[in-house]
């Protein structure tokens, strides 16, 4: 068993190697990430849809498949996140628009299907700009994500910081 709860700091390839070598289990990886999300997401609002039970079930299935010696992909047992504008079967693909709050995907997008085929599993959705166009105004489905280390700038401060127009007038 891996000591400490720092698995969330490790990259996908390192985690996959640790899982394959049975240094850690996929369920330990999930629990580490969930604990970290509990710690920081209230301040960041980066995760908009959690699927904790599905993640734990998928992690246990990945661990059981590894224990049986079954085939495993290069990233077997490593969870992945998807922005909310990419289809994941059985979940809404909102693109941060309330009009799509009930738009449940019937199948996975090709990129999701490929990740799953490689032994990974989906377990949460992250925020995205409205319609994925880079706009972050008046989101109705989810609150705006925040970025640590960047202070909020008032409109007056932004206007004062702009360089003068050229040519003047």
Summarised one tens digit per residue, pLDDT across range 25-38 is: 999 999 999 999 89
Question: Averaged over 91-101, what is the pLDDT?
Answer: 79
For residue 102, pLDDT beyond 60:
yes
Q: Say how far apart CA 167 and CA 164 lie, in whole Å.
A: 9
Signed CA dihedral, 56, 59, 65, 66: sign only: negative
Q: Where are the domains of the chain?
A: 7-146
Which secondary-structure segment (H or E) carries 82?
strand 79-83
How far CA 103 is from CA of 9, 82, 93, 113, 128, in Å, comes to 33, 16, 6, 19, 16
Superfamily of domain covering 7-146: Amidase signature (AS) domain (3.90.1300.10)
**Higher pLDDT among residues 163 and 33, named by residue:** 33
- pLDDT given for residue 159 in this prediction: 47
Look up the pTM and report it. Answer: 0.69
What is the tens place of the pLDDT at every residue in 4-58?
568 999 998 999 999 999 999 999 999 999 999 899 888 887 888 888 998 899 8
- pLDDT given for residue 167 in this prediction: 52
Question: Averaged over 60-79, what is the pLDDT?
Answer: 88
Helix or strand or coil: residue 51? coil
């Amino acid at each position: 068993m891996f000591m400490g709860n720092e698995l969330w700091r490790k990259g996908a390839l390192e985690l996959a190697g640790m899982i394959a070598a049975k240094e850690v289990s996929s369920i330990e990886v999930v629990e580490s990430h969930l604990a970290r999300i509990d710690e920081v997401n209230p301040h960041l609002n980066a995760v908009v849809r959690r699927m904790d039970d599905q993640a734990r079930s998928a992690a246990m299935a990945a661990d059981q498949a590894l224990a049986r010696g079954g085939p495993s992909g290069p990233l077997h047992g490593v969870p992945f996140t998807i922005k909310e504008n990419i289809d994941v079967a059985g979940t809404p693909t909102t693109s941060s628009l309330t009009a799509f709050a009930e738009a449940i995907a019937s199948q996975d997008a090709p990129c999701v299907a490929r990740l799953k085929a490689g032994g990974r599993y989906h377990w949460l959705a992250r925020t995205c700009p409205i319609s994925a166009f880079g706009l972050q105004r008046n989101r109705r489905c989810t609150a705006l994500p925040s970025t640590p280390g960047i202070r909020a700038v008032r409109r007056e401060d932004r206007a004062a910081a702009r360089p003068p127009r050229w040519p003047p007038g």
